[in-house]
Each structure stands twice: as structure tokens, then as C-alpha cells.
């Protein structure tokens, strides 16, 4: 146990924080030594702090039940206890950005679920299968900001994984994509807790999620972008148009995608073969949270479906189906991923594993 890396969760009582706590329980590399939250929870035992609002499908892990919750703003306390924190705080953007910088300045590696730093030009937004190389910016990030050991890495918005993995697999195989029209059917848990009112979701869908379309259109371009002078430059070759809907599903975001290639379109069998063979750095490195197959293509005509496919690969696999020609662009397909695992806490833990595996931390 002594050899595990010590980590913390800041914003540990919210829904994303609970997911971190759940997924880190029994993790082979990381050990939770610190949980922090707002002053309201600070000082309480974790089980008391989440009493009546523990939303995970399993009970609170034994090892954290009695742990005293720290104050999220007590950065030095965190720095004494752990070398990396997962940030899941829910405050206004400015406050989150500043708090995460304080952690980094105190020497703590920050892997964030929050959108506050996604547009910061020297902060990488990472999906480990797609742009692990973006971590190369970290030394410059530290140097510019005068940080010794700390740094900030961010996980992208939870709406894009179900199409960015299949699209990246095609790019990596030499088939650049020029445009995507994406309509998402997004799960309730993406809005945190309590999220939408049951009265609004029963017998209904809502064709709007605040800020979601903008994030879905810009973040992929940063992930596919390049580093110039220690700063990220958005990819210009791809245009994305997103329609984001909220539907009455607990977990699992679905994306209906039409895409166009920059050059000639590959054959349908080629696309399937590319997806089925797709493996990337996390698989090569054998990172603990990576599924053996990051992409699974299902042949059934009516898949993927949230209830049947969201838990594939422990929630870390993106399930794809219904590849067919598009009458307007080149191809259509449907992608699905578990938004609170692959799209949130699980995706961040995979980043942390990548960081550790590459020697960026501890």
C-alpha cells in the first residue's frame, strides 16, 4: 500500500466527486488520502457529509467513510497529504480557475473535470487515446507560471467522447474528417445533482443544454490542435455543428453523427476495420482504467442503446453502431459512452494514469 501514489478529490461531495471516490476505491496505483469540499461540509466525516445525497449504485467505500472532509480552499493541507488532486469543484468559473491555480502553485498536480481552464491557452485538454502528446506542454506551463511541481490538465466536456474516439480512429488511419453534424441525446447525470426536475423530464425531452453546443464544437478542435510556442492552436480543418438534447436517461450519452471526409471517403468495410482494430497509447501502456477495446462496434441494427451499452468496458468503452451512407455528408453512425465514467471521473483517472506512466507525476 505504501507504494501507491497519494491523491485527493477536491469537490468530493458532489456527484462527480462521488464518482471519483467510487472509481478510485481499490485502484491499483492511487490511494485517496484527502477529500475536500465546501466549508459547509468541511470538518464532517465523509459519510456524514454525503448523507442523504450519495447517488452511486454502490455503498460508500469503507476506506473513506470516516475520513474527515477538508476545506477545498485549504490548499496547503492538500499539498501535505497528496501529490495529485482530481478537481470536481462546482463554483463559478473564475473561482474554480483561481483555486486550481493555487493547487498547482502549491506543488499539486491538478486533473480537472471543470470547464474553467479548458480555454486557457497553455492548459491541455486531454483524451488519452487521442492527444497524449499534449502533455508535452506541461514543462512550459510550469515555467511560464513559476510553478515547481504542480500543473493543470483538463478533461474535455462529457458530450464529445462518443464521436471523438471514432472520428480520431479514422484520422489516425489517414482519413481526415472535415465536418461533423452531431445530435446528442444526453443523460440526466451530465447535469449533476439534482439536475433537471422530474416534472420537466417525464414524457418529455428538452432540445437545449446550456453551453453544451459551444463546448462540443470548440473542445474537439483544441484536442486535435497543435502546440505553438507553448500554447495550443485550435485545429482548423474540422467544423462541428452540435444539437444537444436532454433525455430521460440516467447515464449514457448517445450521439447521432453525420460526417464528411476532407479527401475521398474510405469504404464502409475499411471504416469498420479501422474502428475494430483501433488501439492507442493507453492500451499499449496497459493503463489500469483503459478497456481492452476503446471502441466496440455492434452489428445489431438497433444499437448502441444507453441501458445496454453504457457499462461496456467498465464504462470506459465507446460503443458505435449503425454505420451507413449519408445522403448529405459521407457517412452516418451512432456513438454512445458512459458520461460519468468515460466522460467524467473515469476519463480523468485515465489522464492521471497516463501522467504517472509517463513520469509526469510522483
Q: So which residues are the catalytic ones?
A: 158, 253
In the region spanning residues 55 to 114, those forming contacts with its own copies, defined by CB under 8 A, are 55, 57
Which of 198, 233, 237, 262 is close enough to bind its own copies by CB under 8 A? 198
Binding mask 178-197 for its own copies (x = CB under 8 A): -xxx-x-x--xx---xxxxx
Nearer to its own copies, 139 or 263 (CB): 263
- Please state, in angstroms and as integers, the Cα–Cα distance from residue 276 to each residue in 267, 270, 271, following that order: 14, 10, 9
In 14-137, which ranges are continuous DSSP H helix?
Answer: 15-24, 46-49, 62-65, 75-81, 93-105
Grid cell for residue 281: 497509447
Binding-residue total with its own copies (CB under 8 A): 59
Residues facing residue 151 across a β-bridge? 109
* Distance in Å, CB of 270 to its own copies, minimum: 21
Binding mask 245-284 for its own copies (x = CB under 8 A): x-xxxx---x-x-x-x------------------------
Binding mask 321-360 for its own copies (x = CB under 8 A): xx---xxxx--x-x--------------------------
* Distance in Å, CB of 31 to its own copies, minimum: 26
DSSP string, 140-187: HHHHHHT-SS-EEEEPPPTTSHHHHHHHHHHHHTT--EEEEEEEEEE-
Grid cell for residue 194: 439534482
Nearer to its own copies, 112 or 184 (CB): 184
Query: How far apart are alpha carbons 156 and 282 in whole angstroms?
Result: 17
C-alpha of 148 from chain center:
26
Q: Answer yes or no: are the C-beta atoms of 137 and 227 closer than 8 Å.
A: yes
* Distance in Å, CB of 326 to its own copies, minimum: 5
Query: How far apart are alpha carbons 166 and 153 in whole angstroms?
Result: 23
* Distance in Å, CB of 278 to its own copies, minimum: 20
Beta-carbon contacts of 109 under 8 Å, excluding residues fewer than 6 positions away, are 83, 84, 85, 149, 150, 151, 153, 352, 355, 360, 361
Query: How far apart are alpha carbons 53 and 55 in whole angstroms?
Result: 6
* Distance in Å, CB of 215 to its own copies, minimum: 13
Nearer to its own copies, 68 or 307 (CB): 307
* Distance in Å, CB of 14 to its own copies, minimum: 13
Q: Which one of 21-29, 52-60, 155-163, 268-276 is the stretch in contact with its own copies (CB under 8 A)?
A: 52-60
Nearer to its own copies, 9 or 185 (CB): 185
Which of 201, 234, 281, 285 is close enough to bind its own copies by CB under 8 A? 201
How many of the other CB atoms lie within 10 Å of CB of 66? 10
- Please state, in angstroms and as integers, the Cα–Cα distance from residue 253 to each residue in 5, 173, 246, following that order: 32, 25, 9
Q: Longest Cα pair distance anywhere in the chain, in angstroms?
A: 60
Nearer to its own copies, 102 or 250 (CB): 250
Overall residue count recorded for the chain in this entry: 362
**214 scored as a contact of its own copies (CB under 8 A):** no
Strand 231-233 relative to strand 151-154, pairing = unpaired
Q: Which one of 33-41, 49-57, 86-94, 268-276 is the stretch in contact with its own copies (CB under 8 A)?
A: 49-57
Binding mask 298-317 for its own copies (x = CB under 8 A): --xxxxxxxxx--x------
Q: Which residues bind its own copies (CB under 8 A)?
A: 51-52, 55, 57, 179-181, 183, 185, 188-189, 193-208, 217, 239-241, 243, 245, 247-250, 254, 256, 258, 260, 300-308, 311, 321-322, 326-329, 332, 334
Amino acid at each position: 500500500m505504501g507504494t501507491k501514489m497519494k491523491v485527493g478529490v477536491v469537490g468530493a461531495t458532489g456527484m462527480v466527486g462521488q464518482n471519483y471516490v467510487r472509481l478510485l476505491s481499490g485502484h491499483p496505483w492511487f490511494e485517496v488520502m484527502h477529500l475536500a469540499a465546501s466549508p459547509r461540509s468541511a470538518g464532517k466525516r465523509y459519510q456524514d457529509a454525503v448523507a442523504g445525497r450519495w447517488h452511486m449504485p454502490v455503498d460508500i467505500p469503507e476506506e473513506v467513510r470516516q475520513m474527515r472532509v477538508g476545506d477545498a480552499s485549504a490548499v496547503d493541507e492538500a499539498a501535505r497529504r497528496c501529490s495529485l488532486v482530481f478537481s470536481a469543484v462546482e463554483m463559478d468559473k473564475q473561482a474554480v480557475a483561481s483555486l486550481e491555480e493555487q493547487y498547482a502553485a502549491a506543488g499539486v498536480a491538478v486533473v480537472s473535470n471543470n470547464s474553467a481552464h479548458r480555454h486557457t491557452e497553455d492548459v491541455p485538454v486531454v483524451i488519452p487515446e487521442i492527444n497524449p502528446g499534449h502533455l508535452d506542454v506541461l514543462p512550459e506551463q510550469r515555467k511560464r507560471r513559476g510553478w515547481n511541481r504542480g500543473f493543470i490538465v483538463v478533461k474535455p466536456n462529457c458530450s464529445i467522447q462518443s464521436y471523438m474516439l471514432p472520428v480520431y480512429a479514422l484520422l489516425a488511419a489517414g482519413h481526415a474528417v472535415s465536418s461533423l453534424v452531431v445530435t446528442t441525446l444526453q443523460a440526466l447525470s451530465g447535469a449533476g445533482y439534482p439536475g433537471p426536475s422530474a416534472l420537466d423530464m417525464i414524457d418529455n425531452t428538452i432540445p437545449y443544454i446550456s453551453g453544451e453546443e459551444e463546448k462540443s464544437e470548440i473542445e474537439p478542435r483544441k484536442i486535435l490542435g497543435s502546440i505553438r510556442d507553448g500554447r495550443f492552436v485550435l485545429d482548423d480543418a474540422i467544423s462541428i455543428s452540435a444539437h444537444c438534447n436532454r433525455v430521460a436517461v440516467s447515464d449514457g450519452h448517445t450521439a447521432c453523427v453525420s460526417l464528411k471526409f476532407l479527401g475521398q471517403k474510405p469504404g464502409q468495410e475499411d471504416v469498420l476495420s479501422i474502428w475494430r482494430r483501433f488501439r492507442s497509447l493507453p492500451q499499449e501502456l496497459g493503463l489500469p482504467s483503459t478497456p481492452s477495446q476503446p471502441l466496440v462496434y455492434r452489428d445489431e441494427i438497433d444499437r448502441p442503446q444507453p441501458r445496454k451499452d453504457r457499462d461496456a468496458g467498465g464504462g470506459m468503452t465507446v460503443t458505435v453502431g449503425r454505420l451507413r451512407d449519408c445522403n448529405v455528408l459521407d457517412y452516418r453512425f451512432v456513438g454512445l459512452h458512459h458520461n460519468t465514467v468515460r466522460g467524467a471521473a473515469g476519463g480523468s483517472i485515465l489522464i492521471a494514469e497516463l501522467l504517472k506512466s509517463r513520469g509526469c507525476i510522483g
